């Protein structure tokens, strides 16, 4: 199915009466808390910070836990960057997975919907929300004007580094996203946690689902390689389930838990490294 038609299909099924323009509204009409969040995010997410945090967390030194255990552990988090839902993290994850399941997608796709936000456990390690949630973007090169609240980058120290303010920055054209240091957050962290267990399509969904400037707005095309262009189709296929499944109807966690425990055990051992 054409991706634009696919997006329309999923939106019509899961937006529950909300209009498209009511999602992802990031401007001066946004809640003050959302604007404050992005002020901090865009000020502090430097190239050095992104590189350092990736090096710190990709070694997975935070102990071993099961997937469902970590979902419950995360459940008290309220995402300051998201104006579209007041549901708990586990409720949003179940909504996403159930929307994917309802459309008959493979079990690995359903599982990806269930766990895609689990990297937000970074908050429990003491990381501030501006280093965990929100839209992500390439660092070490010029910031695209298609990034939400682009003007807030004026306070980022990287704005004074000439090399970082060129189109390619520290990268070579066509280097591929795997060589690009995206602003650090839950996507990058979870990718390293689960990369030994899931298909590559799922890993792209997890690693880049918050990078809207690339997968939705089409920015940074000069850094992509052919693999990225192919795999980002899967990110775009996943995205409307994440975005448009947000509603006020709470999923029945107790009824759904046996199905998703079975699904988790199909792909993961009882405990994995975090």
pLDDT digits (tens, 9 = 90+) for 176-220: 999 999 999 999 999 999 999 999 999 999 999 999 999 999 999
Which residue is listed with tokens 């997608």?
Answer: 105
**Other Cβ atoms within 10 Å of 1 Cβ, number:** 9
Specify whether the CB–CB gap between 271 and 64 falls below 8 A: yes
Mean pLDDT in residue range 139-146: 98
- Span of 12-16, 51-55, 66-70, 177-181 with lowest mean pLDDT: 12-16
Per-residue CA distances from 51 to 5, 47, 56, 70, 148 (Å): 37, 6, 9, 25, 22
Query: Does residue 247 register a pLDDT over 80?
Result: no
Mean pLDDT in residue range 57-81: 86
**Other Cβ atoms within 10 Å of 117 Cβ, number:** 26
pLDDT of residue 182: 98
Mean pLDDT in residue range 248-256: 87
DSSP 200-216: HHHHHHHHHTT-HHHHT
Quickly state the pLDDT bin for 242 (edges 50, 70, 90).
Answer: confident
Mean pLDDT in residue range 165-184: 98
pTM: predicted TM-score of the whole model, two decimal places: 0.86
Mean pLDDT in residue range 83-89: 64
Give the domain ranges of the chain.
Answer: 3-14+32-161+171-273
Query: Does residue 144 register a pLDDT over 50?
Result: yes
Write out the two tokens for 223: 């850094």
Determine what percent of the chain is predicted with pLDDT higher than 70. Answer: 84
Specify whether the CB–CB gap between 47 and 166 falls below 8 A: no
Quickly state the pLDDT bin for 78 (edges 50, 70, 90).
Answer: low
Write the CB contacts of 103 (distance below 8 Å, at least 6 apart in sequence): 10, 13
pLDDT of residue 11: 43
Specify whether the CB–CB gap between 83 and 222 falls below 8 A: no
Quickly state the pLDDT bin for 13 (edges 50, 70, 90).
Answer: very low
Specify whether the CB–CB gap between 144 and 137 falls below 8 A: yes
Q: What is the mean pLDDT of the chain?
A: 88
Separation CA 237–CA 205 (nearest Å):
9
Quickly state the pLDDT bin for 249 (edges 50, 70, 90).
Answer: confident
């Amino acid at each position: 199915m054409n991706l634009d038609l696919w997006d329309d299909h999923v939106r019509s099924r899961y937006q529950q009466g909300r209009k498209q323009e009511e999602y992802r509204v990031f401007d001066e009409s946004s809640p003050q808390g959302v604007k404050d969040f992005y002020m901090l995010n865009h000020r502090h997410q430097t190239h050095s910070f992104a590189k350092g945090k990736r090096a710190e967390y990709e070694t997975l030194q935070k102990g071993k836990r099961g997937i469902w255990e970590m979902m419950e552990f995360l459940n008290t988090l309220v995402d300051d960057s998201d104006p579209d839902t007041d549901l708990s993290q586990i409720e949003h994850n179940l909504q996403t997975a159930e929307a994917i399941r309802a459309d008959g997608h493979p079990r690995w796709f359903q599982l990806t919907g269930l766990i895609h936000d689990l990297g937000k456990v970074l908050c429990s390690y003491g990381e501030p929300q501006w280093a965990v949630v929100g839209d992500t973007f390439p660092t070490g090169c010029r910031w695209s004007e298609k990034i939400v609240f682009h003007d807030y980058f004026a306070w980022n120290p990287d704005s004074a580094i000439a090399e970082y303010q060129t189109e390619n920055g520290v990268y070579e054209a066509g280097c591929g996203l795997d060589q690009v240091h995206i602003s650090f957050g839950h996507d990058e962290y979870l990718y390293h946690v689960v990369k030994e267990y899931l298909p590559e399509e799922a890993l792209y969904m997890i690693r880049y689902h918050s990078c809207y400037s690339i997968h939705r707005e089409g920015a940074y095309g000069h850094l992509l390689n052919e693999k990225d262009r192919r795999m980002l189709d899967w990110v775009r296929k996943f995205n409307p389930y994440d975005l448009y499944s947000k509603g006020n109807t709470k999923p029945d966690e107790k009824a759904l838990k046996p199905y998703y425990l079975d699904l988790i055990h199909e792909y993961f051992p009882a405990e994995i490294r975090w």
